[in-house]
Amino acid sequence: MLVLKRVVSVGGIIVPQCTSLSVSCFSASHCLNSPKRHSPYSSVDSERYSSLVKSVMSVRVSSQTPETLQAEDEHIYGPVVKAQTTSSGPKMRGPKTLHPFLNCEETLNLEEPESGQPVRIALNRGQGRSSVPSVTRILQQTLSPDQIFYLERWKKRMIAELGEEGFKQYSLNLFRQGKLFHSAVEEVLTSGTPQNRNLSETPEYPPDVQGYMESISHILEDVGAVRAIESTVQHNALNYLGVADCVARYRGVLCVIDWKTSEKPKPFLRNTYDNPIQVAAYAGALNNDANYKYQVENGLIVVAYKDGSPGHAHKLSSELMLEYWKTWLVRLEEFTEQRSSHA
DNA sequence: GGATCCTTCTTCTTCTTC
């Protein structure tokens, strides 16, 4: 049975998300090319029924909408300068074909030994890659109008509080902490297996990183068999690339892992916004990149907190990964359309 | 040497009651 879990707005299009997809979908790539067989919702005219679906599926109903909030903000902050929109043609309803998330055609060496140093393929933009867009850029340029609205509102409020310069420093500091945290995680993971990492001798992290590392120490204990770290993945057929944080086993399951720092608690997967799409995009690229001789179906988003409170590990099952992969394909196609209309 | 790239982050209603 299919269960309609929630409704996600993708570039202004309401996409019903389903669970309980057939597991057999992942063993044969042809299944991915015929989603209708598995999801009756994929044939729904989502534009026509979007408001209905939204009102039915929304558990919590707020009297405030982006529209009413915008009117209020305009009153307080002045008129909004709207970004130019590019959608001149008919609204896209989803990708015409679903490219396989897994690459089943190539001979894969699943028996590849997992010991040894993790792979780290550096990003080399010089080798004809300059025109290949990145996962981050694609996600940033295909944010939904709601996402753009809330992000802009947040930014305005922060600037009102901190001033332009204060906000700039605040943002730089968040980025700096994120980078330091990534380096520290990398250092721990390359220092050995969970068993022989010397956890009693706590390494001296920079003060800004100490709390984050404490926050995820219980999660790192379950991460082993690290295969790749900060490694470039490129989907040659779909023409995009990215740098995956980590590929390793979490509680025995091979995952693409993304490490995140956060100021706010993110106890649920839905609190991580586009992060699951990012992870699915990396996994799909890795699965279709000849540099990697194995396939990864699962994902993990690890959220760390500065005050050292227990971090969250959000598991992305292969079923969920496939759902987010489909969402990624929509975003990718939207980006490609944007690009061609600008050319 | 400088410029550019990929990342690093940032959003999710309100204030009604026990």
pLDDT per residue as tens digits for the range A118-139 = 889 888 876 566 789 999 999 9
A99 assigned to some structural domain:
no
Catalytic residues of A: 245, 258, 260
**A330 Cα distance to chain centroid:** 14
Average pLDDT over residues A232-243: 94
- According to the model, what pLDDT value does residue A200 have? 54
- According to the model, what pLDDT value does residue A231 have? 96
| Burial tier of A12 (Cβ tally within 10 Å: 0-12, 13-18, 19+) | middle
Q: What's the one-letter identity of residue A317?
A: S
Q: Looking at per-residue confidence, does A21 or A269 come out higher? A: A269
Are both A39 and A129 inside the same structural domain? no
A91 assigned to some structural domain:
no
Rounded to 5°, angle at Cα A261 from A255 and A266:
80
**In this structure, are strands A298-305 and A4-10 parallel, antiparallel, or unpaired?**
unpaired
Give the C-alpha distances (Å, rounded to integers) separating A166 from A152, A175, A274, A314: 16, 14, 27, 32
Point out the domain boundary residue: A40, A65, A90: A65
Judged by C1' against the alpha carbon of A245, the nearest nucleotide is: B7
Give the C-alpha distances (Å, rounded to integers) separating A153 from A89, A136, A158: 28, 21, 9
Are both A145 and A267 inside the same structural domain? yes
Q: Does position A57 have pLDDT exceeding 70, yes or no? A: no
A85 assigned to some structural domain:
no
- According to the model, what pLDDT value does residue A191 have? 83
A74 assigned to some structural domain:
no
> Sign of the CA dihedral A4, A5, A6, A12?
negative
Distance CA A163, CA A165 (A): 6
How many angstroms is C1' of B17 away from CA of A61? 18
Q: Model confidence at A324, in pLDDT bands (50, 70, 90)?
A: very high
- According to the model, what pLDDT value does residue A341 have? 84
Judged by C1' against the alpha carbon of A158, the nearest nucleotide is: B10
**In this structure, are strands A312-316 and A298-305 parallel, antiparallel, or unpaired?**
antiparallel
A80 assigned to some structural domain:
no
Residue A58 CB coordination number (10 Å): 11
Beta-strand runs (E) in chain A: 4-10, 13-18, 223-235, 240-250, 253-262, 298-305, 312-316
Are both A224 and A144 inside the same structural domain? yes
- According to the model, what pLDDT value does residue A83 have? 46
- According to the model, what pLDDT value does residue A79 have? 58
How many structural domains compose chain A? 2
List the domain range (segments joined by +) for residue A38.
1-65
Residue A228 CB coordination number (10 Å): 23
Are both A197 and A257 inside the same structural domain? yes
A215 assigned to some structural domain:
yes
Chain B bases under 7 Å from protein CB? 4-14
Here the tokens at position A30 are: 């042809």
Q: Does position A85 have pLDDT exceeding 50, yes or no? A: no
Distance CA A339, CA A343 (A): 6
A75 assigned to some structural domain:
no
Highest mean pLDDT of the ranges A44-58, A163-177, A200-214: A163-177
How many angstroms is C1' of B10 away from CA of A107? 42
Rounded to 5°, angle at Cα A14 from A11 and A18:
120
Are both A116 and A4 inside the same structural domain? no
For the domain that residue A156 is a member of, what is the CATH number? 3.90.320
Average pLDDT over residues A81-103: 49
Are both A215 and A313 inside the same structural domain? yes
- According to the model, what pLDDT value does residue A77 have? 60
* Mean pLDDT of the residues in chain A: 76
Are both A15 and A114 inside the same structural domain? no
How many angstroms is C1' of B8 away from CA of A37? 40
Q: Model confidence at A203, in pLDDT bands (50, 70, 90)?
A: low
Share of chain A above pLDDT 70, in %: 63
Judged by C1' against the alpha carbon of A264, the nearest nucleotide is: B10
Q: Which of A39-43, A80-84, A278-282 has the lowest mean pLDDT?
A: A39-43
How many angstroms is C1' of B6 away from CA of A128? 16
Specify which residue's alpha carbon is closest to the C1' of nucleotide B12. Answer: A271
CA atoms within 13 Å, Cβ hemisphere of A11 = 23
Specify which residue's alpha carbon is closest to the C1' of nucleotide B5. Answer: A125
Judged by C1' against the alpha carbon of A281, the nearest nucleotide is: B6
Average pLDDT over residues A288-315: 96
Are both A154 and A242 inside the same structural domain? yes
- According to the model, what pLDDT value does residue A194 have? 67
Q: Does position A317 have pLDDT exceeding 90, yes or no? A: yes
Are both A36 and A135 inside the same structural domain? no
Judged by C1' against the alpha carbon of A154, the nearest nucleotide is: B11
A89 assigned to some structural domain:
no
How many angstroms is C1' of B15 away from CA of A157? 20
Which of A74-77's residues contact partners 24+ apart within 8 Å by CB, and which partners?
A: A77/A156, A77/A160
Are both A157 and A282 inside the same structural domain? yes
Are both A44 and A155 inside the same structural domain? no
Share of chain A above pLDDT 90, in %: 54
Average pLDDT over residues A321-335: 96
Q: Does position A28 have pLDDT exceeding 90, yes or no? A: no
Specify which residue's alpha carbon is closest to the C1' of nucleotide B10. Answer: A151
How many angstroms is C1' of B5 away from CA of A337? 22
- According to the model, what pLDDT value does residue A80 have? 52
Are both A61 and A111 inside the same structural domain? no
